[in-house]
Amino acid sequence: MKRLAGWMTKPFTNLRLREKLFLMFLLGAILPLLFFVLYSYQTIKSELSNQMYTSSVASVAQINSNLENKLDTYTKLSATMYLNNTLRAYLTNNYTQDPSLFVDAYQYINNTFSNMLTTNPDIHSLSIYINNDSLPADGIYIKRIDDAFRSSAIYRSLLDTYGNVRFVSTPPAVDQPPMFTLTRMLNISNLDNAYGILTINILESDIFRLMEKETAEKTVLIVNDQGFIMSAKDKSMLNRPLKKFVPDSFPDKLQGRFDSTYNGEKMLVVYNTTKFGWKSVALIPYNSFLAKANQTAKRIFILALISFGIMALLIYITARLFTKRVEYLVGIIRRIEREEFEHIDIRPLGRDEIGQLGNVLRKMSQRLSTLISDVYKKEIDKKEAEMNVLQAQINPHFLYNTLASISSLAIRNSDQRMNKMVTDLAKFYRISLNKGKNQISIHEEMQLTRYYVAIQQIRFADLIRVHYQIDESVLPCPIVKLTLQPFVENAMNHAIWDDKLGINIMIKASRDGQDIVFKIIDDGMGMRVQESRNADQALPSRGDALSGYGIRNVDNRIKLLYGDAYGVSIFSRLGIGTTVTIRIPGR
């Protein structure tokens, strides 16, 4: 995952700072702008959709109410025929014995049907299908229930209706206006045995008038309970299932809305259901009521593009001004890297963070110039010191040869004291010079101290009494060369206060945890309390011990090599003596 993230961010990482700033500022500007445009469009679209839905619900509900009233009117007309006992008597009478009686029957039937057609011009025709063979059928008002009728949709729709009304779609016929049929079993006296079947053919135009005003901007349909279109502006849709035009199914609610398509166009479908199971359906194209929203969105998008262009220009100028100063500072840093300090003159870059960075860089370059000059001087001094060391390497050979000559003369003159002093002095210098090395082992440091004490004892005889208490485990450990000798020398030269009693010096070496502690203890004259404090703080020593390899020199060398946690401390009391403690790491 990390490798994938690195691979994806690598192109961005390799971009220049100006390009990164421009890209980030651009994204920071374009994303809110796009969000604003999309949010505005969606808000307007949602608001217009809700308004259109509210309006369509009201119009569909009104159409539905008018449709229910119209279907109630047709149902009441059929009820008039259904409850007409005179008509039932004529239709069920046996005319076999006296055929002349059917004349009265037809006179009544013709008058009744003609009056109904006259008072209801939206009814195209009405007929009663009968099983009474004794009553002649005229083919207009009275028709036979034959096999063809029994196989028709009208007859099948009446199964298990028990005298209730059914509305059936009427197949289109040549030279006939579109219509649908109300059908009802006439079985008032016997529910199980109908004496006839009433059919009323109603003009589709009568239903279409209910919704004609609403078809200007949307498609309004009347669909029966079987899903067939009963009325529409496009008459080619009549008597065809709605599924062929609107593929999506209606929700399980009496009224509502859903999205679908019609003729390849996205539609808002609003519907309402009558008590007869018929539905008033309105198909509203989204483009019809979203045209204004689209126009508004286009205007907003154009304004957004203009704003985006202005922002891009401003962002580019800002990034350019910002990175130009950064590039200037990078150039200065590269000149500092090449140590071209004499050509560096950083101009003021303002008071912001970059300006402050420029000021700091100017001070840093001045400081670097000074430090580099100091380093150059120290390098020169170091070279000179190395030359002096090379020159001094000749001196020990000359010194050893000279001391050997003195020792030979002492032996010839039988002067053993001089011979021993010269021999110890040669051994002392052989260890102390140590081929120019700064560190030696504690064992060698103790040997060096012993040689120095031996030389001084020839001078002071029994006045100097030196005792050793050394932990042998510390002898292999390294120590700064000439650490102990200056303190022993300081005690011999400045601590003796009685020329007859002399002085005792104790040299101790032991471990203290991870450190090694040396103590040089004398019972000499000591120092006053204030002198002891000053000696412990600034390490001034008595007399000339600060010169050469003095006490301060030892403390500085230890701290430079091992750190400030190590070094020299002094404790002394006047008339009692002095204790010098030296702490070094035990490695």
Phi then psi dihedrals of residue 472, to 5 deg: -65, -20
Q: State the pLDDT at residue 2.
A: 54
Q: Are 82 and 186 in contact (CB under 8 A)?
A: yes
Rounded to whole angstroms, the Cα distance separating 245 from 281 reads: 12
**pLDDT above 90 as % of the chain:** 10
Using DSSP's 3-state secondary structure scheme, residue 563 falls into: coil
Q: State the pLDDT at residue 44.
A: 75
Q: What is the mean pLDDT of the chain?
A: 78
Q: List the end-to-end C-alpha distance of the chain, in Å, as a whole number.
A: 46
Using DSSP's 3-state secondary structure scheme, residue 523 falls into: coil
How many of the other CB atoms lie within 10 Å of CB of 370?
11
Report pLDDT digits (tens) over 282-333.
888 877 777 776 777 778 778 877 877 787 777 777 777 767 777 777 777 7
Q: Which residue has the higher pLDDT, 467 or 388?
A: 467
Same fold, 17-207+290-333 and 208-289: yes
Helix (H) or strand (E) holding 363: helix 353-392
Rounded to whole angstroms, the Cα distance separating 360 from 366 reads: 10
Instruction: Reply yes or no on whether the pLDDT at 377 is more than 80.
Output: no
Q: Which residue has the higher pLDDT, 466 or 46?
A: 466
Q: How confident is the model at residue 547 (pLDDT cuts 50, 70, 90)?
A: very low
Instruction: Reply yes or no on whether the pLDDT at 383 is more than 70.
Output: no
Report pLDDT digits (tens) over 247-277.
888 888 888 888 888 888 888 888 888 888 8
Least confident of 184-188, 423-427, 506-510: 423-427
Least confident of 105-109, 197-201, 213-217, 509-513: 213-217
How many of the other CB atoms lie within 10 Å of CB of 330?
12
Q: How confident is the model at residue 344 (pLDDT cuts 50, 70, 90)?
A: low
Exposed / middle / buried, residue 575 (Cβ in 10 Å: 0-12, 13-18, 19+):
exposed
Q: What secondary structure does DSSP assign to 98-151, as a single string?
A: -GGGHHHHHHHHHHHHHHHHHH-TTEEEEEEEE--TTSPP-SSSEEE--HHHHT
Q: Which residue has the higher pLDDT, 356 or 464?
A: 464
Q: State the pLDDT at residue 298.
A: 78
Amino acid at 128: I
Exposed / middle / buried, residue 124 (Cβ in 10 Å: 0-12, 13-18, 19+):
buried
- Which CATH code fits 208-289? 3.30.450.20
Q: State the pLDDT at residue 278.
A: 87
Segment 206-230 mean pLDDT = 83
pTM of the model: 0.48
Angle of helix 551-562 relative to helix 485-494, nearest 10 degrees, comes to 160
Q: State the pLDDT at residue 468.
A: 93
- Which CATH code fits 17-207+290-333? 3.30.450.20
Segment 164-182 mean pLDDT = 84
- CATH number (3.30.565.10, 2.40.110.10, 3.90.245.10, 3.40.718.10) of 437-585 reads 3.30.565.10
Report pLDDT digits (tens) over 104-144.
888 999 999 999 989 988 888 899 999 888 888 888 889 99
Rounded to whole angstroms, the Cα distance separating 485 from 480 reads: 11
Segment 179-206 mean pLDDT = 83
Q: Are 286 and 258 in contact (CB under 8 A)?
A: no
For residue 296, give both structure tokens: 């508004």
Rounded to whole angstroms, the Cα distance separating 79 from 517 reads: 129
Q: How confident is the model at residue 505 (pLDDT cuts 50, 70, 90)?
A: very high
Least confident of 158-162, 413-417, 444-448: 413-417
Determine how β-strand 567-573 pairs with β-strand 503-512.
unpaired
Q: State the pLDDT at residue 43.
A: 78
Rounded to whole angstroms, the Cα distance separating 13 from 97 reads: 112
Domain ranges within the chain, ordered by starting residue? 17-207+290-333, 208-289, 339-381, 393-433, 437-585
